Amino acid sequence: MGEVFAGRYELIDPIGRGGVGAVWRAWDHRRRRYVAAKVLQQSDAHTLLRFVREQALRIEHPHVLAPASWAADDDKVLFTMDLVSGGSLAHLIGDYGPLPPRFVCLLLDQLLSGLSTVHAEGVVHRDIKPANILLEATGTTRPHLRLSDFGISMRKGEPRLTETNYVVGTPGYFAPEQMMGAEPDFPADLFAVGLVALYLLQGRKPDSQALIEYFAAHGTPGAPQGVPEPLWQVLAGLLQPDPQARFRTATGARKALTAAVEMLPDAGPDDEPVEVFDQIGPLPDGFGPDGPVSAPQTPVQALGGAVGAGQTSPPQQPLVAGQQAYAPPPVSMSETGSFHLAPPPRHPTPPPRPAQPYTPPGPPPAHPGAPLTTAPDPAQAPTAPARHGTVPTRAYTEAAPYQGPAAVPSAPAPRTRPGPPRVVAVPVLLVALICFAVGIWALTQT
């Protein structure tokens, strides 16, 4: 399994590399789908500011591949986009070389459609080139183009992140005014679109500098070899060195392209169909169409052990028609991180025994050949009719009713006389007599 970024994005394998970061195929654990994740390589303030500016762009259009979300983890940041697996226009030219004019017009129409939405948001792309124009893996059906990589794009009126007289972009796709250090504007993007169209029609990178010099010296040249004249008139309007003589909007260029397509010859029956292949390749081991694939585990393996010596696995119960085989539930971790115990093994239930008739025992025969006689069964005797009424009391309960446990006789307690003990009473009486005698003697002396 790959590295999980910010607890959500699992990086699987690198699929490309840009100017400021590598592009990975990743699995979004929250949305349960594969995405393309662009991871920042550098952490300096200048590159990080460009990164933040690109991920802040939110444009919804079928032919625009803008960032969808972003995340940060320690000193790394990334943003994600839809995963486009058909490669870029550079891959397509590498597979087929020059493309048929009608196929080029279809791609050019989609590119101008997406660019018109980008310009409507006030954004100048500034880096339109074949490597930044991606394709869905549509096979031989209608192609689907996506304009991507807004790393150096900017809104009109925003402060520039480069120094004065410093050109940003890809050499060979600059507009003449960009080389002069002019402020980025929409016609500069349209000039790059014209160069991309020539690249698709001729199968090689055009010499933009020689083309600009020829336009400046001799005006609009004739149509190059392999380019139909109606289509060249549209491309010449995109490639004018003077931005004032160029198409001003992508919508205007798209309308002119639609009119030119009506004058193009139809595709011949011998023309080879253009197929857009899957350029990313199969998923690595451990990943499937629905995300990471975990190897199935038995309950014994999940508990960290196996059947040891002398232990046998539970017997398998034979299946009955219409009954499904018992499958133990998958062992998963609880919310506290502990493992759930596996269910106890199911033992087979023995089949019920057939009922046997009861045969009462009887005396053995007296001798061989004597007829077997059986004693009458009391249980089979006729039952006397029950009498209803007052039930008489049994004799043993009437004669000696229950009185409870018999009392055990106890020894008589010793009798005690009231008053003080004799040892105390005798001295007290003597003292009282002495006092009485003294009192009488005192009375007789007076």
pLDDT tens across 134-147, in order?
999 999 999 999 99
Q: Select, from the ranges 194-203, 287-296, 388-397, the one with the highest average predicted confidence (pLDDT).
A: 194-203
Q: Which of 28, 73, 109, 127 is catalytic?
A: 127
**Mean pLDDT for the chain?**
77
In this predicted structure, the answer to whether residue 186 has a pLDDT above a threshold of 90 is yes
Q: How confident is the model at residue 49 (pLDDT cuts 50, 70, 90)?
A: low
Are 8 and 71 spatial neighbours (Cβ–Cβ below 8 Å)? yes
Res 422: pLDDT: 78
**Which residue among 259, 281, 303 closes a domain?**
281
Note the pLDDT of residue 359. Answer: 56
Say if strands 154-155 and 123-124 run parallel, antiparallel, or are unpaired. antiparallel
Beta-carbon contacts of 236 under 8 Å, excluding residues fewer than 6 positions away, are 220, 221
Boundary of a domain, candidates 83, 99, 121: 83
One domain for residues 146 and 234: yes
Bridge partner list, 33? 28
Q: Same domain, yes or no, for 156 and 137?
A: yes
pLDDT tier for residue 22 given thresholds of 50, 70 and 90: confident
Check: CB of residue 201 under 8 Å from CB of residue 104.
yes
DSSP state of 88: B
More confident residue, 409 or 326: 409
> pTM of the full predicted structure?
0.64
Range of the domain at 251: 84-281
- Between 404 and 93, name the one with better pLDDT: 93
Q: Which residue has the higher pLDDT, 69 or 275?
A: 275
- Whether 220 maps to a domain, the answer reads yes
Tokens of 91: 């891959």
- Work out the pLDDT band at 341, boundaries 50, 70, 90: very low
Give the pLDDT confidence score for residue 140 in this predicted structure: 93
Same-domain pairing of 131 and 224: yes
| pLDDT band, residue 35 (cuts 50/70/90) | very high
Most confident of 41-45, 273-277, 433-437: 273-277
Nearest to 109 by CA among 177, 63, 155: 63
- What whole-number percentage of the chain has pLDDT above 70? 65
Residues 250 and 277 in one domain: yes
- Identify the residue with better confidence: 269 or 412: 269
At 199, which CATH number?
Answer: 1.10.510.10
- 75 an active-site residue? no
Among 83, 101, 125, residue at a domain's last position: 83
In this structure, the answer to whether residues 248 and 136 fall within a common structural domain is yes
Residue 67 — very low, low, confident or very high, per pLDDT cuts 50/70/90?
confident
